[in-house]
Chains A and B, each alone.
Chain A
Amino acid sequence: MDLEDSKKGNAMKEKIEDWRTPSPMISRRSVIGGAGRLALGLAGASALGGLMTTTARAAFTGSRPYKIGFVAPLTGPVAPEGISMQRGFDLGLEHLNAAGGIAGQKVEAVTQDTKADPALAATVVKKFIQEEKVDMIVGTITNDEEDAAAKVGSAAGTPVMFIEAGFWHAFCNSTAVLMGENSFDLCAPLVPFMAEKFGKKFLLIGSDFSFPHAYLGVAKKYIDAVGGTVVDELYAPLGTPDWSSSIAKIKAAKPDVIFSGVVGGDAIGFAKQSKDLGLLPDAHLTGVNLQPEFYPAMGGAVDGQYACVRYSEEIDNPDNAQFKAAYKKKYGEGPIPLVGSTAYYALRFVKAAVEKAGSYDKSKVMAAFKGAQAQTTVSDKPLTIDPITMNVGYPMYICQIQPGGLYKIVKEVGLVKNDLHCG
């Protein structure tokens, strides 16, 4: 997988070499980061510093509308997610502009379909940057698209904001800003919770591609930390229809907890067959396998199980209520996917960063994203972009899945510390 990634990377580099910006972007960014920290120190030390930052913020008014290139798979295999994302984004844009836009200017967006094709995503991002002269890119759903978009965006020094992605080592030293949670957020609260409740014998199972390997790798760290053991580690390729051999192995290993990084349709197949073959409901299954969006097709196979998520319908705040009402008024009734609500508040982080930067300059905005704060629909308190991993730090919840699909909060974990770093 690594080999393949680096191969892809090389091909991409060759393609974009001719228009790569000559400036040594990374070192420039770190200088600005240093300056930012210095300013912050001053602000903390003296009232004058505080006054300076406020004045600077209020004084900045953009010279022209801020322009965003929105790239989304509106057709193809992940179109439902792409369309939900677009709806949330459009609504967020509408509300943001109604409230005064960014830096006193309206925000403009251009949109194009990527069909979930990474090559097309790269082309669209390149076109938006070169021809549309956008200030930043927002969008994408799949890992492949994100990898491609991050490479093109970084080479051009343009911030790229991904609605679905969490921390990913491939995004280190890139211009990616991530709206998703990272694997530490998903694992750190869950492993001790499960170990305490059910026992310390863990079995890991995952879809065989880079994300589940990384995710289960993080889980293993926490299993070690609680003195647990990993009795077996199973991987099956994406698109595996028959899980019986893995289920037989799990039955034989008799783990206390099945920690699953099986995703997509396979998560559903695995859960259903685990129920059919008598593994569930007695065994304890957890992990990203239990993401709420997979619930409807799992047919009750995971009722009663525990999951670690960043959102539950139980989270109730005025912001979310207003968003839900506006979304349903515009697009009709029915559940609102998480990606729609994330895309809705994503632009608030853009506003925070641009106004903090006091400039449309891409590298200044990128630096301002580090530690940028914004109010979201998932929490009463403003959330912050982690300056190292560049993903939004979410307060996590451990939920028990109720029959019918309500993720009932049993434990509020709050923000999760991690020791993630790049390099």
Chain B
Amino acid sequence: MNAWLQILLDFVWVSACLALVSFSLGLILGELKIVNIAQGDLMMVGAYSMYALRELPFVLALLLTVVLGLVLGLVLERGILRWVYDKGFMATLLASWGVGTVLEQGVAAIFTVSQKGVDSPLKGQLTIGDFSYPTYRVVVALGIVALLAILLLLVYRTALGLRLRASIDNVEMASVLGVSPQRMFAMVFSVATALAVLAGALIAPTIAINPTLGLSFLAPAFFAVLVAKPGSLAGPIVGAMAVQAVFTLLQAGLNVTVAESALFGLLALFVVLRPQGISWTWKTARRETP
């Protein structure tokens, strides 16, 4: 009983973090039609930011980290990505890969590559009978759920969200109707970057922080986006839960190495059998200049 409760709570915790990253990845893919390879590295930046600010109160450090994410996103979009939008799918892919590499090496140069750790601000455990679970994970998971709910309300219930969805659907038509693609791109990339940075900052107290930590989150997040309903911003969240649910079940029965291979095998198979998932990226490849 307790074992299952732990598995359930582990699932909630990991899938919440994964959902946040997948949502930000889906946002960028949807609006900018870019496969942002650097998304994992942006998480890593968030974790290092928390390490650098570890002397400050946790919430303050978190706020500063999110601000850093917003600024970083704006700088990357205005400074680098906008110059390669019209160079095609491969150019944007390579540009984001380059950004990721620069972030990894830059962080390694500043902090060295040795492992870093951040203390958890909530050290307590929530106890039900003889079962206990770290308070921090529960609080953060609930916080992420609330944040994603607010973001989805923004997307589906506000004028800004309407413009965003219009722009995702047909950027040329939306721009004719007065939605500036430049502004929308900059805003979306900036917000999505901040979300990835936030995800990294939130998991920082639970992991060993090193410059390549983002890589292990990138593949599941991509699959979460791929298995989702194309074009839907809520899709990657559902995708993240689906991917993590399968992974959790596989891990319960198998060694982690085997479970991981099986997971990616199954996901690849799913994408082959349901290619609607990748039709989205195909559109990207053939897309004309914005």
A: residues with CB less than 8 A from B are: 77-80, 208, 234-237, 239-242, 244-246, 248, 251-252, 264-269, 272-273, 276-278, 293-294, 296-299
A235 in complex: contacting residue of B116, B206, B255, CB < 8 Å: B255
**A244 engages B6 (CB within 8 Å):** yes
Tell me the complex Cα distance, A162–B7, Å.
Answer: 43
Q: Which residues of B contact A272 (CB under 8 A)?
A: 117, 206-208
| Set of chain A residues within 8 Å of B3, measured between Cβ atoms | 248, 251-252
How far is it, in angstroms, between the C-alpha of A23 and the C-alpha of B259 when the chains are bound?
Answer: 48
Partner-A contacts on B (CB < 8 A): 3, 6-7, 10, 13-14, 108, 112-117, 119-120, 125, 132-134, 136-137, 203, 206-213, 215-217, 248, 251-252, 255-257, 259-260
Pick the residue among B117, B119, B120, B248 that contacts A245 (CB under 8 A): B248
13 A-B pairs within 8 Å (CB atoms) are namely A236-B256, A239-B216, A240-B256, A241-B217, A245-B10, A245-B251, A246-B256, A269-B206, A269-B208, A276-B137, A278-B132, A278-B133, A297-B116
**A273-B115 CB under 8 A given contacts A239-B212, A240-B256, A248-B7:** no
Within the complex, the shortest CB–CB distance from B76 to chain A, in Å, comes to 24
Q: Which residues of A contact B133 (CB under 8 A)?
A: 277-278
CB neighbours (8 Å) of B14 from chain A are 242, 244
Residues of A near B136 (CB, < 8 A) are: 276
Q: A245-B252, A269-B206, A278-B134 are in contact. List 18 more A-B contacts (CB 8 A).
A: A77-B211, A78-B113, A79-B113, A235-B256, A239-B215, A240-B256, A241-B213, A244-B10, A245-B7, A248-B6, A251-B6, A265-B210, A269-B207, A269-B208, A272-B208, A297-B116, A298-B117, A299-B117
Question: Would you call A241 and B257 a contact (CB within 8 A)?
Answer: no
Known: A79-B113, A241-B217, A248-B10. A265 touches B257 (CB 8 A): no
A237: chain B residues at CB < 8 Å are: 256-257, 260
B2 to chain A, nearest CB (A): 8
Would you call A235 and B216 a contact (CB within 8 A)?
no
Interface-central residue, B120, B125, B255, by most chain A CB under 10 Å: B255
Least distance between B114 CB and chain A CB atoms (Å): 5
Quote the shortest CB–CB distance from A165 to chain B (angstroms): 20
Contacts of B215 on A, CB cut-off 8 Å? 239
A79 and B112 within 8 A (CB): yes
Chain B residues within 8 Å of A268, by CB = 115, 117, 208
